[in-house]
Structure 1
Amino acid sequence: MKNILLLIILFCSGLLSAQNEVVTPPEKVKFTFEKEYPNKVPVWSIDYVGDDNDEIRYEAKFNTDKNTKALAVYDNLGVLKAFEQQIPLSQLPQKAQNYLKKNYSQKAIKEIAVVVNDKNKTTYEVGIEKDSKFYDVVFDQNGGFDVIIEKN
């Protein structure tokens, strides 16, 4: 019985330590990041995307200045797939600001970001907390409402 309990404890601690693993991206990815964002210190993570979660994305979280957070997403060849940066409410297009004022309280807004993808398409994502759930409200480049996505 002691052996089974010991095995369970070892298994659980192994799972926990694997979750804190440091991610080191390929040299191409690191080189591209350092070229685009010199003197920035990223925290790397991995995300799996695609129909079968068969594509790897390397995500670099970093600060553009002392108050602004950013995220750069690369494929395994070092190609930038998306860039996301925090912005204040005042930098949202007026149309998006009006939508938010009409539909949500100021307290519900938790974060705001501008996102540019690899096709140079700009969108705005606003993190909203409502009824103990978290949502991303997405607007197009002109501030027109696009979609609400529930986050887990």
Structure 2
Amino acid sequence: MPAEERLTELPDLPTTPGYAHAVAVTGKLAFISGQVAVDAKGCVVGVDDLGAQTRQALGNLHHVIRNLGADWSDVIKFTWYVLDASEVQTIRDVRDEILRPALGEVPNPASTLVQVAALFGPDFLVEVEAVVAIPGEASDV
């Protein structure tokens, strides 16, 4: 697996609440565009429901990740864009519901959450993008 090291506890820094401070990798990386809560027909899922939107956005992200030949354990960083950062616990709960079965006791990827004034559509509450280490790709460096 190309995600080789996840730093969660470092001297002089607090332990992270559910993510890694850093993830070291080898090999080829993929940068996945932000995913939102739309179904296969392009219809918004979970209007006014952050949990449902987070679940759908992660489902869409997982679909892209799997088509790269990767899985949740290969995600090295999430970037979250939300309308209301005070609702971060909802995002954490859904993220853990989805990632824990795949990661087990391995810490979550590195993560950044940014509160924004708006997303590209008026009904969207969350968008998530990821950086993924593609398995089986050797580095030439």
Q: TM-score, normalised by structure 2?
A: 0.25
Q: TM-score, normalised by structure 1?
A: 0.24
Which structure: greater strand fraction? 1
Which one has a bigger Cα radius of gyration?
Answer: 1
Q: Which has the bigger relative contact order, CA under 8 A and spacing at least 6?
A: 2
